[in-house]
Amino acid sequence: MSLVTKGIGLAKKAKHRFQDQIRARTPVYLSPVRRIEQVATEERICAMTFDDGPCRLPASPDHFRGKPLTLVLAETLERYGAKGTFDVVGDTSRNYPDRAGKHGSASWGGVSYDHYPDFRKDDQGGVVHCPELVTRLLAGGHEITSHTYSHILFGWKPLVYGRRKYLSGLDPVVQDLKKLHGAMEKGWGYPIRLSRPPHYVDGIKGGFSSYDAYALMGYQYMAASFDGAGWLPLASYEAEVEATWKPMEKILLENPDFFRGQIIFQKDGYNMARRSPIADGLGKQLQLLTDHGYKVVTVSELLDRSPFRDALPHSDVGAAARRLLGHGWCVAFQDNTLRPDTVLTRGALAMLAYGCETIRQRIRLVRSGKAPFRDMAPRHPYAAAAVLADETGALKAENGNFRPDAPVTAEELRRFLEVRLGRSGGDLPRQITHGQFFLLADALMGAGR
Ligand SMILES: [Zn+2]
C-alpha cells in the first residue's frame, strides 16, 4: 500500500469517526427526501451503484479488446442476471479552464472541477456524448440515476476538495439537475427518480442542502452502505482487483446475510491511478453474491420491495407507513428510518401531514428570513408545515408559539384527525408514538376507502 493511499485510508477512518460523532449529536427530522443507504429486508437482495459514467474509453488495463468500460460492466452484470444502477453525469466538457492535478491524488482528473472519464477526454463520457451507451444500459434493464449534469460540487467542501469550484446556490443546483433530468426525458422518455451529489457534498449556499434540491426535483437521495473499492489506487492492478472482492468474501463467510438490503458503491470510470479494477473485479463480486444466494437488483426495485431502513415491508407498521407514503404523507426521517417508538410531537405531526406539500413554501420562508412563530426559526425544517397546520386549524399555535417539540395530546390529536381526515379517532391515548399514529391514520383512511 502506497503512502498516499495509506494517508487517504487513515484520513477516511478519522473522518468517519468524526461523522459518527456529529451524527449522534445532530437531530434528525422527518423529510420528503430520504437518504437511502440500506433497507430492511429478509431477502438476499442488494443493489450496486456505478458512479461517474457512462464511459466510452476502454477498461484500463484493457483486457476486453477495446470495449467501452460501461459496456464491459453491463455485460458482466447481465451474465449473472444482475441489474446495475448507473449514476451518470451529463457532460463535463464545459468545466474549463482547469488543469489536471497530481497523478494518484484526488485532483487527478482536474483541480477546479472533475472531468469524466479523464482530463481533456470529456467527450468520451457523459450521457450527452455517449447516447449509445445509455440506450444499451436501458435495454439491459439497468437503472439510470442522476449524478448531476456537470458533476460540479453543490457547495464548498473543505479539506480534500477545498480548491474545487462549486455551484453558487440552490437555483444553479436545481438547474443543473433539471438539465440531466430533461436530457433523459427528452432522449429516452426516462424519468429519473434518484440522485447522489458529487462527492456527497450536501451544503448549498444560502442555508440550503441537497435535500432541498432533491425535494424540488421529487428525487430521493441515493447513498451507499458498502464500498466496492473501485476508486481506490493501490500498489498494483492485481491488488486493486483483489480489494474489490476480497473483503466481500471475508464478510460473506462470517455472515452470509450481511448484504441484505445493502447498496454497494462502485465506479464506472478510472481510479486515481487511472486504472479500472472493477472491470475485472465485478465478475468476482457477482460470483460471490450469486454463490450466497443473492440477487442484485436496481435501487428502485430495492425500494419497491422495502422502502424503509428500520421496518420490514410486511410488518404492521412498515405496511401502514408505506400506504401513508403513497398518499403523500411525510412518514420517514431524513435517514430513511421510521423510528416507530418515538413520541409524536406537534412539529412532527404537522410535518407528517403537510411536509410534502409545503416544499416551496419552506424555501420561500428560509429566503424571507422571517420566523413564522416566536419559537420556530424560518430555517426550522417543520416551519412551513407548521404554518399550514395552523392555517387549516389542524394544529393551532397559541400566543404566537407553535411548540414544535411538545408531545401531541389526545385533545390535539382528535382535532387534527377531524380537520385532516374528517374522522374522529375514538378513544385516543394520552401520548402517541409514530408507529401507533401510522396504524391509527392508516386504519382511519382505510375506513374511508
Ligand atoms: Zn462522482
pLDDT attached to residue 6: 53
Distance 92 CA to ligand 1 centre (A): 11
Q: State percent of the chain over pLDDT 90.
A: 87
User: Would the pLDDT of 10 be above 70?
Assistant: no
Q: Find the mean pLDDT for residues 308-332.
A: 97
Q: Find the mean pLDDT for residues 228-233.
A: 92
Distance 153 CA to ligand 1 centre (A): 10
Confidence of residue 131 (pLDDT cuts 50, 70, 90): very high
Distance 198 CA to ligand 1 centre (A): 5
Q: Find the mean pLDDT for residues 418-424.
A: 92
Confidence of residue 157 (pLDDT cuts 50, 70, 90): confident
pLDDT attached to residue 402: 98
> When comparing pLDDT for 424 and 302, which is higher?
302
User: What is the SS3 assignment for 316?
Assistant: helix
Distance 7 CA to ligand 1 centre (A): 21
d(C-alpha 256, C-alpha 80), whole Å: 18
User: Would the pLDDT of 351 be above 50?
Assistant: yes
Confidence of residue 210 (pLDDT cuts 50, 70, 90): very high
Distance 146 CA to ligand 1 centre (A): 10
Distance 37 CA to ligand 1 centre (A): 16
Q: What is the pLDDT of residues 368-385, one digit of tens each?
A: 999 999 999 999 999 999
Write down the architecture of domain 31-302 according to CATH. Answer: Alpha-Beta Barrel (3.20)
d(C-alpha 222, C-alpha 262), whole Å: 12
Cβ-contact 123, 338 below 8 angstroms: no
Distance 50 CA to ligand 1 centre (A): 9
User: Would the pLDDT of 390 be above 70?
Assistant: yes
pLDDT attached to residue 161: 78
Distance 53 CA to ligand 1 centre (A): 9
pLDDT attached to residue 427: 87
Confidence of residue 1 (pLDDT cuts 50, 70, 90): very low
User: Would the pLDDT of 254 be above 50?
Assistant: yes
User: Would the pLDDT of 446 be above 90?
Assistant: no
Q: What is the pLDDT of residues 284-299, one digit of tens each?
A: 999 999 999 999 999 9
pLDDT attached to residue 8: 54
For the chain, the structural domain boundaries read: 31-302, 312-447
pLDDT attached to residue 3: 47
Confidence of residue 426 (pLDDT cuts 50, 70, 90): confident
Cβ-contact 141, 181 below 8 angstroms: no
Residue partners of 112: CB distance under 8 A and separation at least 6: 95, 97, 98, 99, 163, 164, 165
Q: What is the DSSP string of 338-400?
A: --TTSBPBHHHHHHHHHGGG-HHHHHHHHHHT--SBTTB-TT-TTHHHHHHHHHHTSS--BTT
Cis check for the bond before 58: say yes or no (omega within 30 of 0). no
